[in-house]
Amino acid sequence: MYKPIEDNALSAYEINRSRIVRSLELIQDVIVISLCIGLFSFMAIQVRDMFLSLLPPLDFHVVTADILFLLILVELFRLLIIYLQEQRISIGVAVEVSIVSVLREIIVKGVLEISWSQVLATCAFLLVLSVLLVVRVWLPPTFEGIDPEQNISQRYKNRIVRD
């Protein structure tokens, strides 16, 4: 009826499973590295386009949109680097990218050209993201290693101790 699994079979299963997991993580790292290379190449193209947009006639909205778009790309690159180092997505960086992306769209379109319901929804979205960003500082890190919010939290704690 029930036959217990021998220790050799169990350890072979664990070795096989860990080898499969390591292989999948390696494939995932290769995908993320290729995303980093592609994103870096795209940033280089965007920098070239931004410098070309600085030539006369100068359009303020285009230059501003290009600069903000480059900042978004830099933050996405930082998010990928943190993922490679930690094997996790940093909530703080993801929220920062979202905030900058929303603000870029508002600046590019102009607040006066957006309907009041979209402005209200955008404000609510930014408020939720801001609360998430503030709350994230007090949450304990779930992984060892890089924690971008750790410096902010440490500065806040040092300021409280001094006061």
Which pLDDT score, from 0 to 100, does residue 4 have? 53
Over residues 68-99, the pLDDT tens digits come to: 889 899 989 999 998 888 888 878 888 888 98
**What is the three-class DSSP state of 118?**
helix
Handedness of CA 114, 97, 131, 91 (dihedral sign): positive
State the pTM of this model.
0.65
- Token pair for residue 14? 């664990």
- Residues 99 and 130 sit within 8 Å (Cβ to Cβ): yes
Cα 45–Cα 97–Cα 51 angle in degrees, nearest 5: 25
CA atoms within 13 A on the CB side of 103: 15
> How large is the angle between the packed helices 116-138 and 150-162, nearest 10 degrees?
70
pLDDT along the chain (163 residues), means of 10: 53 75 90 94 91 82 84 90 84 86 84 86 92 79 55 71 75
**What is the three-class DSSP state of 7?**
helix
**What is the Cα–Cα distance from 64 to 133, expressed in whole angstroms?**
25
Q: How many residues does the chain have?
A: 163
DSSP string, 61-106: HHHHHHHHHHHHHHHHHHHHHHHHHHSS--HHHHHHHHHHHHHHHH
Instruction: Tell me: cis bond preceding 57? Omega within 30 of 0 counts.
Output: yes
Which pLDDT score, from 0 to 100, does residue 53 have? 81
DSSP state, residue 127: H
Which pLDDT score, from 0 to 100, does residue 10 have? 55
